[in-house]
Amino acid sequence: MLAFIIRRLFQSLLVMVAVGFIAFSLFNFVGDPVNNMVGIDATIEERQRMAESLGLNDPFPVQFARFAANAVRGDFGQSFRLSVPVEDAIAERLPATLELVFVAALLSLAIGVPLGVYTGLHRNSPLSRLLLTVSLIGISLPTFLIGILLILVFSVWLNWLPSFGRGETVDIGWQSNLVSLDGLRSIILPALTLCLFQLTLVMRLVRAEMLEVLRTDYIKFARARGLTNRAVHFGHALKNTLVPVITITGLQIGNLIAFAIITETVFQWPGMGLLFLQAIQFVDIPVMAAYLCLVAFIFVLINLVVDLLYYTIDPRLRIDKRVHGQ
């Protein structure tokens, strides 16, 4: 397992270097950083001094190394637009996004897995058919449309839930939505919007896996031994569906962070996605670079965790591979 982790870490490192490189390239290819820093009427000398002080005249590898070294320490420079260090801007926005993603992922699992199990076990019941049809709609509607529809119904018509913003947040080490009623009310709609796609995915995946597993010999044998339906379905079948579900969910958490851009825009949720979008509008390259690196880092981290989870679930992957003959 150690070898496995080392290999994974190495791969992760490669990914991060590649992403770092792309992020760094932004500075050189999208806009001119000096132009962004100085006024339009700056003289050529001023510009050159600026470039010198920013290290822009150094050879490329040196610049990249400096960028990487800073990035590792979490230093991405000043935001052009906000004129605060990028890391501060992100630190302020990160909790909002992470909480949103966390709630969305939780919802998708908490709803998706049971629905998947149900539709898998009762393949032909009317409710299963209904769920599958609805889920198809859920998958095919674009996120922003779902968000707008939800706002229309729950905020505009019913006036039950707020339509934008984080509402009241409480400082629990970070600004949190999860401890106050108002905060919770605010997070419901965006989280629902964000999770819908993943929910359908989880449900369909669990269903497909359930159907697959229920056909296996060990399930037949478990039934033939007279185990209760509960033991067969939830003890034997469900656990065997978990490996692929964990993979997909893991990957999807990364996607959720990425998709959050749209949801955050629709709900004016002050998270990283919104920050990134605004950064693009203003060609705020340090923010863009930092966002890229951060998202990539989270992806890599999740992947690592997912791989390690396999080991705990599936004994066949553990070190002890010996097969006894005699």
227, 280, 283, 292: which one binds other proteins (CB under 8 A) = 227
Site membership for other proteins, residue 311 (CB under 8 A): no
Q: Provide DSSP, 126-182.
A: HHHHHHHHHHHHHHHS-HHHHHHHHIIIIIIIS--S-SSS--S-EESSSEESSSSHH
Shortest Cβ 163–other proteins spacing (Å): 46
Nearer to other proteins, 29 or 218 (CB): 218
- Round to whole Å and give the CA distance between 111 and 6: 35
Cβ 273 vs Cβ 97: under 8 Å: yes
Shortest Cβ 304–other proteins spacing (Å): 16
End-to-end CA distance of the chain: 27
41, 45, 171, 320: which one binds other proteins (CB under 8 A) = 320
Which neighbouring-strand residues pair with 102?
none
Shortest Cβ 225–other proteins spacing (Å): 4
- Round to whole Å and give the CA distance between 46 and 48: 5
51, 223, 247, 310: which one binds other proteins (CB under 8 A) = 223
Nearer to other proteins, 1 or 153 (CB): 1
Nearer to other proteins, 8 or 81 (CB): 8
Site membership for other proteins, residue 221 (CB under 8 A): yes
Shortest Cβ 245–other proteins spacing (Å): 14
Site membership for other proteins, residue 126 (CB under 8 A): no
Determine the size of the site formed for other proteins (CB under 8 A).
35
For other proteins, the binding residues in 77-116 under the rule CB under 8 A are none
The two three-digit tokens of residue 103, written as one number: 């709630």
70, 125, 216, 268: which one binds other proteins (CB under 8 A) = 216
39, 45, 281, 316: which one binds other proteins (CB under 8 A) = 316
Nearer to other proteins, 73 or 215 (CB): 215
Q: At residue 127, what are phi and psi to the nearest 5 degrees? A: -60, -40
Q: At residue 195, what are phi and psi to the nearest 5 degrees? A: -85, -15
Alpha-carbon distances of 108 from 92, 100, 312, rounded to whole Å: 26, 12, 22
